[in-house]
Amino acid sequence: MEEKAVTYKQAIEEIEGILKKIENQNLDVDDLGNKLKRVNELVKICKKKLHTAEKEVEKILGEME
């Protein structure tokens, strides 16, 4: 089941929220593993979006030459 597409900004904000909970010790130990898995998924989404943006920029710059 695929979830609704997450924007780069949403992913970063969610990662930051999870990290704040971890830093402030506001995260239950039982939930820690699930949150770390979610952060891993979000990081992958961000990397993919950055890679796609980089390719688009390279293409545009190539067309300008």
Burial class (CB in 10 A: 0-12, 13-18, 19+), 47: exposed
User: Distance (Å, rounded) from C-alpha 33 to C-alpha 30?
Assistant: 7
Entry pTM: 0.81
Taking alpha carbons only, the member of 24, 22, 47, 44 closest to residue 35 is 22
Residue 42 lies in a domain: yes
**pLDDT averaged per 10 residues in sequence order, the chain, 65 residues:** 78 96 87 94 97 96 90
Number of domains in the chain: 1
Q: Is 24 helix (H, G, I), strand (E, B) or coil?
A: coil
Domain ranges, residue 35: 8-64
**Residue 3: per-residue pLDDT:** 56
Residue 2 lies in a domain: no
Structure tokens at 41: 């998924």
**Residue 26: per-residue pLDDT:** 84
Structure-token match 């949150």, residue found:
35
Residue 27 lies in a domain: yes
Residue 40 lies in a domain: yes
**Residue 2: per-residue pLDDT:** 45
**Residue 25: per-residue pLDDT:** 87
